[in-house]
Structure 1
Amino acid sequence: MSAVTDHGPPGTAGTPEASSPELYVYYRVHMDQAAAARAAFETTCAGQPVRLLQRRDHDPVFQTWMEIYAPPLNDAIGVEARVAAALAPFAQGPRHREVFAALAGPVGGG
């Protein structure tokens, strides 16, 4: 079972006073388990607007993945908890959680 490291300030995620918080979670997956881990992610997130990214590096053994939970997802904390449970057998080391809130809108939006 993987541990979760939470770097968000208390009371920011999932609270009404938080201005559209976004949750970022990153962790490592062994290359040999990447296909099974991705299938578990896709099954668990079916229909939810959760992004999955892979860091562009050249590690021959591990991939670093990042999940992004952002608006319009209503229950980011609940969805992330379900994903964490589904990916627990695949995460190598802790899942690092960080919460951010927007300071400004998109640049160049018009």
Structure 2
Amino acid sequence: MISICGQPAAAAAAETEENTDHANIRRKNFYIHGTTTEINEIIAQNRSEIILIKFNLWLEFQKFNFAIIKILLKNYIISQKKERKKHFKMRNMFSFFREQKQLHLQYNR
């Protein structure tokens, strides 16, 4: 069983379970609980991108199929990447205009 939750209280509750094969990983405000093998499989699929995931709501997928969890994670990662790209483009655009303005001021003194 894997549970994914965005709150420490749920993580602490899951940690108290008597399970030798139980693993807990915390990256920013993101907790995954499941067997070591299941967690390693999620991380292998998403590599370091899993760090980008930060849930604002308490999300807990306990009875979900493993494939569904992977799809949910993938969709969240993709949406995060799109947001970052958009932000990055805007930032580049502003810095470009700022540089152009500086050049304009330099040559028109």
TM-score where L is the length of structure 2: 0.28
- Which structure carries more relative contact order (alpha carbon 8 Å, separation 6+)? 1
User: If each structure's strand is expressed as a fraction of its own residues, which one has the higher value?
Assistant: 1
User: If each structure's helix is expressed as a fraction of its own residues, which one has the higher value?
Assistant: 2
TM-score where L is the length of structure 1: 0.28
Which structure's CA Rg is the greater one?
A: 2
